[in-house]
A = this chain, B = another copy of it.
């Protein structure tokens, strides 16, 4: 249904943007082919009027798609809103980004939002610049602290979920929110761990379980291929 109504996908993004990375994972989960258009954040290309017309917040990602029903192009932004849209439009394709049970869905969204609104914005470039304009606090220390606090909360929550599920299931193939398939929560976790490493967070101490989940995710070729360093605009 979705494939008939929505087609010709184009992703405006940046290799190292964690929000773009989340959407790459969701597109891969659904097996959606798309054209990738890099927007070079390191050069400030997101501020060009052309991109501003696409995304008024001057952010990436923006996902463009043709809506056959309305005979018009649609511009989608905000990574979690995009992932929800993809899941609702292609509920039966590939891997589900949201499970069926209401409590499981709740947990997936809860963890996703801890990362999306509770960690990622605090370590974003604009905040770090504002903080580093002072002499007293180092922006790297700030990012380090914000990421550690958030990941520690996700670690505890994920372990509580596992504990609850222990009687029902084995530990095999259990992803971040206690699901049997990776979800939106895993799509948020993977880029956040990458960022944590950039800010020297000691992940083995802070969140050993999350490292296990990451390892499990990266065994799936379609997730591993979404890694920032493997994108066409990567500068590594």
Tell me the nearest residue of chain B to A124, going by C-beta. B122
Given A70-B103, A153-B56, A122 contacting B116 (CB threshold 8 A): no
A157 partner residues in chain B, CB cutoff 8 A? 56
A230 partner residues in chain B, CB cutoff 8 A? none
Tell me the nearest residue of chain B to A121, going by C-beta. B121
- Verify B117–A88 contact, CB threshold 8 A: no
Give the interface segment out of A29-37, A106-114, A205-213.
Answer: A106-114
A233 part of interface (Cβ distance < 8 Å): no
- Verify B127–A80 contact, CB threshold 8 A: no
- Verify A85–B57 contact, CB threshold 8 A: no
- Verify A117–B114 contact, CB threshold 8 A: no
- Verify B134–A56 contact, CB threshold 8 A: no
A28 partner residues in chain B, CB cutoff 8 A? none
Given A56-B153, A121-B117, A106 contacting B135 (CB threshold 8 A): no
- Verify A57–B110 contact, CB threshold 8 A: no
A70 partner residues in chain B, CB cutoff 8 A? 103
Given A70-B103, A122-B127, A131-B131, A109 contacting B81 (CB threshold 8 A): yes
Tell me the nearest residue of chain B to A134, going by C-beta. B134
- Verify A112–B81 contact, CB threshold 8 A: yes
Copies in the assembly, this chain: 2
Q: Which of B78, B121, B153 sits near A110, CB closer than 8 Å?
A: B78
- Verify B117–A116 contact, CB threshold 8 A: yes
Q: Which of B77, B84, B117, B127 sits near A127, CB closer than 8 Å?
A: B127
- Verify B57–A118 contact, CB threshold 8 A: yes
A122–B120 alpha-carbon span in the complex (Å): 11
- Verify B142–A130 contact, CB threshold 8 A: yes
A156 partner residues in chain B, CB cutoff 8 A? 56
- Verify B130–A109 contact, CB threshold 8 A: no
A76 partner residues in chain B, CB cutoff 8 A? 106, 110
- Taking Cβ atoms with an 8 Å cutoff, the residues of A that contact B are 56-57, 59, 67, 70, 74, 76-82, 84-85, 88-89, 102-103, 105-106, 109-110, 112-114, 116-118, 120-122, 126-127, 130-131, 133-137, 142, 146, 149-150, 152-153, 156-157
6 contacts between A and B (CB under 8 A): A56-B152, A76-B110, A78-B117, A80-B113, A85-B109, A118-B121
